[in-house]
Amino acid sequence: MRLVAVACLVVLAGCSTVIAPVTTRMTEGLTSAVLDHNDPETIRQGAPAYLLMIDALIAGDPDNTGLLIAGAQLYSSYTTSFVDDQERAVRLAERGRGYGWRALCRREPATCGSWSLPFDEFQTVVAGVGAEDVPALFAAGAAWATWVQVNRADWAAIADKARVEAIMLRVVELDESYRDGAAYTYLGVLNSLIPAALGGKPEQGRRDFERAIEMSAGRDLMTKVLLASEYARLVFDRELHDRLLREVLAADPNVPGLVLLNSMAQARAEVLLAGSAEYFEE
């Protein structure tokens, strides 16, 4: 299961940041239209144009932090939402991670090149990032999380999970309400990547997901889907799994700014619920 929770960042964060340098009524209207679109397939087909656009904009202004943040979010969101081919997903996630690292480096020079430092040193660097740099910090962490998830079969990549967690924990420390608690959603997924017997922290993951749901007042249906698919399936809790998915399917998806994400959540919930009996009988 991908980090589908970030699917709508194609528009929620990615598109809105992409258009920041060209604030016009048309682009603002486009962002609103995408956010409130109820057909993910239409967005899937249109998203590659944004990938090319952001590459071109960054090439023309390589030190623009806003564009780098947008590139990180757009590539990561597109990869997690719409790319099934593994080799392609790895390439796109790599590009998103690179943009994220560059964005944070531009905002806070002390972070430049810190990605491969010993973990204790890396933590110290992250702890020095201030509240004014939360957008770049979150973008770097989200893009890195996507890269880890795409490469989850590689234990060397899984080892980077601790670094992403350090970033998201710093985001929570600085501003837990940022994007309605989106950092908690990432922490929930990261802590549920592997079973407790192998060093995972699924119970902490459940608490993270539940905090994210609380922060969004339950309006973000995708977090409930992720709690079901990442945590409930990992610990084999069918009762929780099915209850969450039924709640998602019964909810009204038409929340301004979340229509696209909630539509994708309901489509995913339907698939997961249909396969529930088979999964939990294994």
Please tell me the predicted confidence (pLDDT) of residue 23: 37
User: How high is the pLDDT of residue 54?
Assistant: 85
pLDDT in tens, 92-147: 999 999 999 999 999 999 999 999 999 999 999 999 999 999 999 999 999 999 99
Q: Per residue, what are the HEC states of the chain? A: CCCHHHCCHHHHHHHHHHCHHHCCHHHHHHHHHHHCCCCHHHHHHHHHHHHHHHHHHHHHCCCCHHHHHHHHHHHHHHHHHHCCCHHHHHHHHHHHHHHHHHHHHHHCHHHCCHHHCCHHHHHHHHHCCCHHHHHHHHHHHHHHHHHHHHCCCCHHHHCCHHHHHHHHHHHHHHHCCCCCCHHHHHHHHHHCCCCHHHCCCHHHHHHHHHHHHHHCCCCCHHHHHHHHHHHHCCCCCHHHHHHHHHHHHHCCCCCCCCHHHHHHHHHHHHHHHHCHHHHHHC
Q: How far apart are CA 144 and CA 149, in angstroms?
A: 9
The pLDDT value given to residue 27: 41
Q: For position 37, what pLDDT does the model report?
A: 74
pLDDT of residue 62: 94
User: How far is Cα 139 from Cα 129, in angstroms, rounded to an integer?
Assistant: 13
Q: Which residues of the chain carry a pLDDT beneath 50?
A: 1-24, 26-28
State how far the Cα of 76 lies from the Cα of 38, in Å rounded to an integer.
21
Distance (Å, whole) CA 166 – CA 158: 14
Q: What is the pLDDT of residue 258?
A: 83
How many structural domains is the chain composed of? 1
pLDDT for position 66: 85
Q: Please tell me the pTM assigned to this model.
A: 0.85
In single-letter form, the type of residue at position 38 comes to N
pLDDT at 17: 43
Residue 223: partners with Cβ closer than 8 Å, 6 or more residues away: 5, 185, 188, 209, 212, 213, 216
Q: Rounded to an integer, what distance in angstroms lies between the CA atom of residue 107 and that of residue 174? A: 16
**219: amino acid identity, one letter:** R
What's the confidence (pLDDT) of residue 1?
A: 39
Cα–Cα distance measured from residue 257 to residue 25, given in angstroms and rounded to the nearest whole number = 17
What pLDDT does residue 30 have? 52
At 13 the pLDDT is: 41
**Cβ partners under 8 Å of residue 34, min gap 6:** 10, 11, 15, 43, 260
CATH number assigned to the domain comprising residue 270: 1.25.40.920
Domain housing 193: 4-281
